[in-house]
A and B are shown apart, each in its own frame.
Chain A
Amino acid sequence: MTTDYIAEMLERIPDKLLPLDAWHRARGGRMVSFAGYQMPVQYEGVMAEHLWTRENAGLFDVSHMGQVLLTGEDVDGALESVVPGEIAKLPVNRMRYSLLLNDEGGILDDLMVTRRTSDLYLVVNGACKYDDLAYMRETFADEVVITLLDERALFALQGPKAAEALSSLIPEVASLYFMQAGAFTFEGMSLWISRSGYTGEDGFEISLDCDHAAAFADRLCAIDSVRPIGLGARDSLRLEAGLPLYGHDLDEETSPIEGDLGFAISKRRRAEGGFAGAERVLGELTGGAPRKRVGLTVEGRQPVRKGAELFVGDRLVGKVTSGGFAPSIGAPIAMGMVSAANAAIGTALEAEVRGKRIAVTVAAMPFVPHRYHRPKAA
């Protein structure tokens, strides 16, 4: 059997449908293929949905993402063997952004890890979930039980009015701060809700039974400030927030340091190592990495998109990894992976788009300030 044959067979596997497929279509969602699912890319339009989320509250269906439970013996030790974050001391109902690493220190996926009373709850990328499961099964001891929660839907409710909207249904969620989570009930539904998201705005992610998903989405969308938002705006919102997208800005070749995600390597893990790829990652932490993920502002109005090569004069110094028009800024922005010598903020580069050079400048991220709900300093 040739790989071409396998690729061809894979292409014939039809997209899966989200639990809310009919719900999206009924609301005018334009469905596209993404991560093996039919997903709504937009409803009324990317620009309007993006701006709505920045000013009100947007409801995103992210049920394609993998929700995974780790239970059994020494799950902390098992997970710490493949991620560089502090898991052992993660308190109950707290969550942390982390990275699944291979033995070479390359990023296999980025994920959220939440400590719950009797398990670790992971949310991983939809396009990576089956590979992640296989990797963990292969790496972890048999005493660790890995369960994919494929009967659970996942929503994100994001924006400055998200807290007001969700707490009108479930008042107790108001007590959560950014990166905290808990179990809640609403009209007989069991919900797992965290204060987190992928837009840079305050907001929540809500895990619930697929059977309840449409009813809950209807209750949220009945609130004046809440509208359904598609994948298109999800991408432009996260780009403005400076958040990397796995498969674009991060991949198996990219280390956490190259990805500018050094914050995800906790203090104890820096000292102790003991995770896949630690040699490379800790070496780069002290000695620097050859490349770095950076933000780019773009001169003019033409968007610079993924794949565009970045130059200093004739010298190729990197590549754009995502890019597009930023509705909240009114100009194109991008992220790129560039050589360390050209990664300083303010460095002038040129992107080649259709044979034309466009001036770009390495810029600080986020492009739009984060507005997370954190405890006020006393």
Chain B
Amino acid sequence: MSRYFTEEHEWVEVEGDIATVGITEYAQSQLGDVVFVDVPSEGKQFDKGDEAAVVESVKAASDVYSPVSGTIVEGNDVLADEPALVNTDPEGDGWFFKLELTDASELDGLMDEGAYKKYVAGL
């Protein structure tokens, strides 16, 4: 099991050919209080970089892009009633969606945890 990160502050946890996607601790701290999350439903297909979900804080609406191409197998429906999970546990229970990878080689272009930490430190 390995975890990857994007410059748009998403994390991707890969197990077999299923990737779980969420936003990072840094992203939630920048967004502030999350009040609404719209996650994609099962069966939707995304190319890498497509708008896949919406997260709204008190301040603003932000898009969440699919960090890899694939087909949605599950959206985190708990977030509809408990959007604040994105603030309290962004890299755990506050995950957004799971998708079946179309092309595992896309993961090669993403950062590992160390590289992401350096990236955030440089912002």
Contact = CB atoms under 8 A, between A and B. Distances in A.
B56 interface: yes
A236 interface: yes
A303 B61 CA distance: 8
Contacts of B32: 42, 45-47, 232
B57 to A, nearest CB: 8
Interface residue range, chain B = 10 to 19
Interface residue range, chain A = 10 to 19
B120 interface: no
Interface string A324-338: 110100001000000
Contacts of A48: 33
A46 B83 contact: no
Contacts of A332: 35-36
B72 to A, nearest CB: 17
Contacts of A305: 60-61
Contacts of B60: 305
Contacts of A41: 59
B54 A303 contact: no
A325 B58 CA distance: 6
A268 to B, nearest CB: 43
Given A45-B32, A45-B33, A47-B33, A301 B83 contact: yes
A244 B32 CA distance: 24
A300 to B, nearest CB: 8
Contact of B58 (A47, A301, A302, A354): A47
B59 A302 contact: no
19 contacts: A42-B32, A46-B32, A46-B33, A47-B32, A47-B33, A232-B32, A232-B58, A232-B59, A236-B58, A303-B36, A303-B61, A324-B58, A325-B33, A325-B35, A325-B56, A325-B58, A327-B33, A332-B35, A332-B36
Given A47-B32, A302-B56, A327-B58, 8 more contacts: A46-B32, A46-B57, A47-B58, A301-B36, A302-B36, A305-B61, A325-B58, A332-B35
